[in-house]
Amino acid sequence: QSIFKIAVLPGDGIGPEVVTPCLEVLNAAGAKTGGFALECQDLPAGAHEYLRSGNALPGTTLDGCRAADAILLGAMGWPEVRYPDGTEIAPQLDLRTELGLFAGIRPARLIPGISPVLADPRAEALDFVIIRESIEGLFALRDEGKVVDDREARDTMVITREVCEPLFDFSFDYTRKRKARGGKGILTCVDKANVFASMAFFRKLFDERHALNSDIEVNHAYVDATALNLVRRPWDFDVMVTENMFGDILSDLAAALVGGMGFAPSADIGKDHAVFQPCHGSAPDIAGKGMANPTATFLSGAMMLEWLGDKHNNQAAIKAGQLVRNAVDAAFKNGIRPYEVGGKDGTAAITAAVLAALETA
């Protein structure tokens, strides 16, 4: 059987509270399928690590991430802990840059049993994916955006061929794989090509790559219209690919449609490495209270197993990922309701329900 080395970065606040049960669930799924095992190493990173050591992402942690087969992250950042320029400690951004994780996968799928937020009955089966470019765009040059004598500050949106070509190829490939599993097979390029030269370039590169992936149907949409249409007819979307900042905004909107951030998993994927983490933050307001919803982390873990399985041609890991997702669905079908959606089930209850569903799978 294969051993997958997992770098685990629990991080701040509720981070450790959702990562620990996630590993329990992943191991339980692995025990059911056999065929692989996870070898986990906890590594420090985040706002509290910054307070302790002066470095939010120590070199040893980064080395550990590079050496691992995959990285599982909890949540990072803490409101009062800031860099001298006032921005927040967010080593997840540095990880994306350092490891070249250009493709941020943000699936939005309504778990059966969770009430749709939209009134339209079509919202009961939401299932779409936003691919957020994750290392450039407006997030490209954090250090250049300097305040000039207290009268002006700038940031630069950068779009490069070097990053966008692999991003779009990845997106076409992702859409194709999804189609093979029943997806619509439509990839929408979301930009603001009507106003910005950088975005017109983004669209041009997308069209170039489409020419090489012409089996996939494509759409073009502006980011403002997409924000509107994600509310008016989200059921029409399949896969979207967009700039970093736009993806940040739209993926939070998408999370709202499926119940909130506690239901929003993510993967940041590059050529060699990948980080899996829930989209939510460290949630200082509920940290330490056992109230965190670990669902997004479980689903991120499922994505991790499937990604590992795909990459290493390990069918058991793929199967285990599916088992986890099915167990989550089953737990919700059995009535589990996190605080986030007005329920009374805390982290422990949700974890127990998912483990029980795995057991009987």
Residue ranges in contact with ligand IPM by CB under 6 A: 77, 90, 92-93, 194-195, 224, 248, 279
Is 151 an interacting residue with respect to a second copy (CB under 8 A)? yes
State which residue, 108 or 279, has the beta carbon closest to ligand IPM.
279
Could you give the CA distance from residue 246 to residue 255 in angstroms, rounded to a whole number?
14
Q: Are 206 and 122 in contact (CB under 8 A)?
A: no
Query: Which one of 251, 295, 300, 314 is in contact with a second copy (CB under 8 A)?
Result: 251
Binding flag, residue 81, a second copy (CB under 8 A): no
Q: Tokens for 88?
A: 């927040």
Antiparallel, parallel or unpaired: β 265-269 and 103-109: antiparallel
**Distance of closest approach, residue 26 Cβ to ligand IPM, in angstroms:** 21
Residue 211 is a binding residue for a second copy (CB under 8 A): no
Q: How far is the CB of 31 from ligand IPM (least distance, A)?
A: 31
CB of 199 to a second copy, least distance (A): 8
Distance between CA 236 and CA 230 in Å, rounded? 9
Residue 219 within binding range of a second copy, rule CB under 8 A: no
Stretch that binds a second copy, among 44-52, 156-164, 287-295, 305-313 (CB under 8 A): 156-164
DSSP state of 116: P
Residues paired with residue 73 on neighbouring β-strands, in sequence order: 9
The partner in contact with residue 78, picked from a second copy, ligand IPM, none with C-beta cut-offs of 5 to 8 angstroms by kind, is none
DSSP structural state of residue 104:
E
Q: HSE (CB half, 13 Å, CA atoms) of 266?
A: 31
Which of the stretches 16-24, 47-55, 105-113, 251-259 binds a second copy when contact is defined by CB under 8 A?
251-259
Binding partner at 255 among ligand IPM, a second copy, none, C-beta below 5 to 8 Å by kind: a second copy
Q: Is residue 253 close enough to count as binding a second copy by CB under 8 A?
A: yes
User: At its nearest, how many Å lie between a second copy and the CB of residue 290?
Assistant: 22
**Is 80 a residue that touches a second copy (CB under 8 A)?**
no
Based on the shown chain and the rule CB under 8 A, indicate whether residue 155 belongs to the binding site for a second copy: yes
Q: Report CA-CA distances (Å) from 169 to 149, 273, 289.
A: 43, 17, 43
Among the listed residues 37, 40, 81, 227, the single contact to a second copy using CB under 8 A: 227
CB environment 46-58: b (16+ within 10 A), e (fewer): bbbbbeeeeebbb
CA distance 237 to 250: 13
CB 90 within 8 A of CB 75: no
Dist CA 309 CA 6 (whole Å): 13
Q: Provide the binding-site residues for a second copy, judged by CB under 8 A.
A: 77, 85-88, 90, 93, 115-120, 138-139, 142, 145-147, 150-162, 192-204, 223-225, 227-232, 245-246, 248-253, 255-257, 260-261
